[in-house]
Structure 1
């Protein structure tokens, strides 16, 4: 009798969401190269804003971790997220590009706030669970979309961000951490971990969907400036 890891169970729970992401017109057109530059640039703006806050959530988790190894792991994840933001912007937006008040999608406002709140006020187990879907879903989506990209696809460089061996290894490392935590958790904690994981997976789908349809709130007075180097 084979033993199912807790993260295998989690993946089964969000498999319908993963399939929704793959069938979303953004991913379909990204894979075929037919995605408009307007939509892609809007997505890059959202992703840059998201990664800035995602790195903060990872750093907050590092600050709450109990061992030097865990602190080191999550701080490195945070630094890698900042580097990914910079790489995406410098690769796909014109040199000197700066939007002092970018339009942010619904998901790009709500999702980062959820991550920061969870990393700050929820249990450490839930905080770690909240950052796993981004790693895991992006790896799988990156592999799926990247495998369909032709050599003339204008977005071919995009897949390199999420298809590297290092990114895959880091994803496996984070999944293993969540399994290790689950092995020591009570049933009530496991239920909260699962709810958090499913919530963040749904946010991931919403992020792609908002990017394609360019759904955004009206600009406000908050300084959300995003600039390319």
Structure 2
């Protein structure tokens, strides 16, 4: 099964992600609120492009079921995940419009651009390989963190979204699609790039990343 090959490639990155102080701080409540605020602001920029990437992936799909899945997931990103971000921003006293004025950071621009490009210009297998690590790593992180939750109610709220049964079932369906593909080493390279961007995204929030000039 191609999912086993892909996980073998991205698992070392996943281990680095769950060991990162941003994630360990989410779990034990020690994560500085400013780092989480930075993450949420960047999500306000990233998620619309992520939804575009999902829609583009669906447009490349070979059959109605896969088209429907990614169209539905694109809508879910806007309706559920983006709505969560808006509510989290409000918890920080920010309107979405104010958050967007702060602008996306370098990693957000790079990651979103890579996903949109891969899903818009690649084949369906390439698009799926690009998008799967984001689904899968968030599901794994959410499941792992949900086991211990967080003493911080704001962090626990975020954890429950990605560790919950509904999101886990969504990811399971995407992995079934992945297993329908023919093995191709090039797809593993695409997935590894996305996984690395996942680590960079968490790290950027931890460092309060900004542009180095201008």
Q: TM above 0.5, one fold?
A: yes
Per the alignment, in what secondary structure is the counterpart of residue 181 of structure 2? Answer: helix
Contact 2:50–2:115 (8 Å) recurs in 1: yes
* Corresponding position: 1:207 with 2:204: no
- Choose which of 22, 42, 49 in structure 2 pairs with 1:46: 42
What are the superposed Cα offsets for residues 71-125 of structure 1, whole Å, 9 maximum, x if unpaired? 1111001011112112222134336452342242322010110011111212211
Measure the CA separation in 1 of the matches of 2:113 and 2:150: 36
- CA deviation profile, 1:11-63 (whole Å, cap 9, x unmatched): 11111101100111100111111111111110011122111101001111222
What is the match of residue 82 of structure 2?
A: 85
Cα distance in 1, alignment partners of residues 62 and 4 from structure 2: 26
Q: Root-mean-square deviation (CA), in Å?
A: 1.8
Alignment counterpart, residue 28 of structure 2, candidates 15, 29, 32: 32
Check whether the contact 2:135–2:171 (CA below 8 A) recurs between aligned residues: yes
Structure richer in helix, relative to its length: 2
Report the count of equivalent residues: 210
How big is the shift at 1:152? 4.9
The residue number in structure 2 matching 1:74 is: 70
Match runs of 1:15-164 below 5 Å: 15-83=11-79, 84-93=81-90, 94=93, 96=95, 98-164=98-164
Where in structure 2 are there 5+ consecutive unaligned residues?
Answer: none
Change in CA separation of 1:40 and 1:150 when aligned onto 2, cut-off 3 Å: closer
| TM-score normalised according to structure 1 size | 0.85
1:105 touches 1:211 (CA, 8 Å); kept in 2?
no
Residue 148 of structure 1 and its aligned partner are, at CA, apart by: 2.4
Q: Which runs of 5+ in 1 are unaligned?
A: 221-229
Change (3 A) 1:87 1:152: closer
Distance 2:191 2:163 in 1: 22
Deviations 1:116-152 (A, max 9, x none): 1111212211011111011100011112222223455
